[in-house]
Amino acid sequence: MTDKTPRLSIAEIKRWARAHFERTGKWPGRDSGPVIGGPDISWSTVDRWLRRGGRGLPGGSSLSELIRKTGGMQNLRRREPGLTKKQVLDWADLHHDITGRWPDRDSGTVFGAPHISWGTIDKRLRQGGLNLPGGMTLMRLLRENRGVWDRRGNTRLTLKLILKWADAHYYRTGHWPVTLSGKVEDAPNPNENWAAIDVALRDGRRGLPGHSSLAQVLEERRHVPIGKRTPRKLKKAGHA
């Protein structure tokens, strides 16, 4: 049987390592899995050949030693860009535009910046580094600056916002929303729904105080009798 595994060179392994770093934000180790952009081999196999020799390699080295001693790779690490909160928010906005969801620490590499991952950004926000002061998280940054309440992309809720969506629902359908009205068409999160809003009002979630309900809010603020979805016509201006 012909051995189709290609001969390797140190230069080629360096290229693979740089590609791995640019894709994941980390240098590869022997436990990093398959080589990105290379043949069908793993980094543990590359490390073994570097240590023992084989596939054109002389042996007597290791993957970690190669990365540590290669000046070009060290320089590339030093060129890892600094971060600012504005840059992180711009990347988060781009992620939301592309996927329809806000990123979390498990969202993989950053669109437009494949040299860094959202996990790395969350770590730097927590611990500091890359020009960030620390003491923050990705989720908290999005909550304070984009109104994102949790990892599912739900918005922080207020009575004013709920009433705004309820008014829009009434103007569009001629009916007030109930828990079974389905999606909230005007919400930024496509998965937002009236049942979830009712639960948040009852249980005090997503910034709400609790001990209320969708029906109770509409009765108190829009004079909608409990159980009635089509009361007298709402004026488009002048209501609280």
Per-residue pLDDT reduced to its tens digit, 79-118: 445 678 888 998 888 888 777 788 988 888 888 776 788 9
Q: What mean pLDDT, rounded, does the chain reach?
A: 81
Q: Is residue 54 located within the same domain as residue 103?
A: no
Domain, as residue range, for 100: 85-146
| Domain-located, residue 229 | no
What crossing angle do the helices spanning 43-52 and 10-24 adopt, rounded to 10°?
Answer: 150
| Domain-located, residue 238 | no
| Domain-located, residue 234 | no
Look up residue 63 and give its two tokens.
């993957």
Q: Is residue 106 located within the same domain as residue 63?
A: no
Token look-up 């705004």 returns 164
Q: Is residue 166 located within the same domain as residue 129?
A: no
Q: Is residue 167 located within the same domain as residue 209?
A: yes
Q: Is residue 73 located within the same domain as residue 90?
A: no
| Domain-located, residue 227 | no
Q: Is residue 141 located within the same domain as residue 170?
A: no
Is the Cα dihedral 185, 188, 192, 198 positive or negative?
negative
Q: What is the pLDDT of residue 239?
A: 57
Residue 159 has pLDDT above 90, yes or no: yes
| Domain-located, residue 23 | yes
Please tell me the total count of domains within the chain: 3
- Name the band, by pLDDT with cuts 50, 70 and 90, for residue 23: low
Q: Is residue 107 located within the same domain as residue 165?
A: no
- Name the band, by pLDDT with cuts 50, 70 and 90, for residue 78: very low
| Domain-located, residue 54 | yes
Greatest mean pLDDT among 70-84, 149-163, 175-189 lies in 175-189
**Cβ atoms of 221 and 204 closer than 8 Å:** no
Least confident of 138-142, 153-157, 171-175, 190-194: 153-157
| Domain-located, residue 1 | no
| Domain-located, residue 3 | no
Q: What is the pLDDT of residue 1?
A: 39
Tell me the backbone φ, ψ of residue 132, rounded to 5 degrees: -95, 140
